[in-house]
């Protein structure tokens, strides 16, 4: 539960284990701000954020991360001087609080889960866009999240690459991880999510079954505009 900075509207979203919630909206709608507030990267100017019945509004990013809120970023942010494995190992130790030996096995397991085990020893700087996106997801998963926040993870990928990414996300859902996914690649989003929220200027225009939300006249006008 939260109020976005400068916005009067309260948002209540409670994704269940294995559920996928999609968030769409035009540029400036407040989508990334929402993820920033949920992850602790930005504090709300009013209202509160709760997670598993606890008020986490004042919790910093690291504490939220260790408590089960994982996040990927729109632009991958790996340590480019490290290998893919080392990147995930750091996340496993620092975010997942695994001890060294357990963290090593955990990191390898996460890389395999994300289809990156074959790239484990490659420098992050040498990875393709799809591989960097997979690594970004692997770093978030290494923290053992119960809720995974995805910020436009399909952006810039080919259809085939998007298919691969969707297969990975579907498996995460099957494993019981709740997904909150912001995305402009709507056809990819609709293949995964159970519920959809459309934001505009920090307000919820529509929420519910994805096809119904996308056909809502207010959403068509605000999100698709003249392209509709």
Domain boundaries, the chain: 1-68+145-161+169-228, 76-144
Q: Give CA separation, 4 vs 12, 33, 36, 49, in Å.
A: 11, 7, 10, 10
CB 30 within 8 A of CB 23: no
pLDDT band (50, 70, 90) for residue 5: very low
Within 10 angstroms of residue 152's Cβ, the number of other Cβ atoms is 20
Q: pLDDT by residue (tens digit) across 102-126?
A: 999 999 999 999 999 999 999 999 9
Q: pLDDT by residue (tens digit) across 147-193?
A: 999 999 999 999 999 999 999 999 999 999 999 999 999 999 999 99
Model pLDDT, residue 70 = 96
Q: What average pLDDT does range 40-46 have in this prediction?
A: 89
Helix or strand (DSSP H, E) at 156? none
Is residue 3 over pLDDT 60?
no
CA 210-32-78 angle, 5° bins: 115
Q: Give CA separation, 55 vs 7, 11, 59, 60, in Å.
A: 20, 15, 9, 12
* Residue percentage of the chain with pLDDT more than 90: 78
Q: Give CA separation, 12 vs 15, 23, 34, 51, 211, in Å.
A: 10, 13, 11, 11, 20
Model pLDDT, residue 199 = 92
Model pLDDT, residue 223 = 64
How many Å apart are CA 17 and CA 146, to the nearest integer?
7
Is residue 60 over pLDDT 70?
yes
Model pLDDT, residue 13 = 65
pLDDT band (50, 70, 90) for residue 45: confident
- Whether pTM exceeds 0.85: yes
Model pLDDT, residue 12 = 65
User: Please, what is the average pLDDT of the chain?
Assistant: 90
pLDDT band (50, 70, 90) for residue 9: low
- From 4-13, 89-98, 207-216, the region with the lowest mean pLDDT: 4-13
Pairing of strands 20-24, 178-182: parallel
113 vs 98, residue with greater confidence: 113
How many Å apart are CA 219 and CA 83, to the nearest integer?
42
Model pLDDT, residue 131 = 96
Is residue 40 over pLDDT 90?
yes
Q: Domain 1-68+145-161+169-228 falls in which CATH fold? A: Rossmann fold (3.40.50)
CB 22 within 8 A of CB 189: yes
């Amino acid at each position: 539960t939260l109020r976005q900075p400068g916005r009067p509207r309260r948002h209540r979203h409670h994704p269940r284990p294995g559920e996928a919630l999609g968030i769409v909206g035009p540029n400036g709608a407040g989508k990334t701000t929402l993820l920033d507030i949920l992850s602790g990267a930005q504090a709300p100017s009013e209202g509160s954020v709760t997670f598993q019945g606890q008020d986490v509004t004042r919790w910093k990013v690291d504490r939220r991360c260790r408590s089960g809120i994982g996040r990927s970023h729109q632009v991958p942010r790996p340590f480019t001087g490290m290998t893919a494995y080392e990147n995930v190992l750091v996340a496993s130790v620092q975010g997942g609080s695994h001890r060294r030996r357990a963290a090593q096995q955990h990191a390898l397991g996460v890389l395999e889960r994300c289809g990156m085990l074959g790239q484990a020893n490659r420098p992050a700087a040498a990875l393709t866009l799809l591989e960097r996106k997979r690594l970004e997801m692997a770093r978030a998963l290494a923290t053992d999240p119960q809720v995974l926040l995805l910020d436009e993870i399909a952006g810039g990928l080919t259809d085939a690459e998007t298919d691969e990414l969707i297969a990975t996300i579907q498996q995460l859902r099957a494993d019981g991880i709740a997904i909150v996914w912001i995305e402009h690649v709507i056809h990819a989003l609709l293949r995964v999510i159970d519920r959809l929220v459309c934001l505009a200027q920090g307000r919820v225009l529509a929420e519910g079954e994805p096809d119904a939300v996308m056909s809502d006249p207010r959403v068509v006008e605000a999100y698709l505009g003249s392209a509709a």
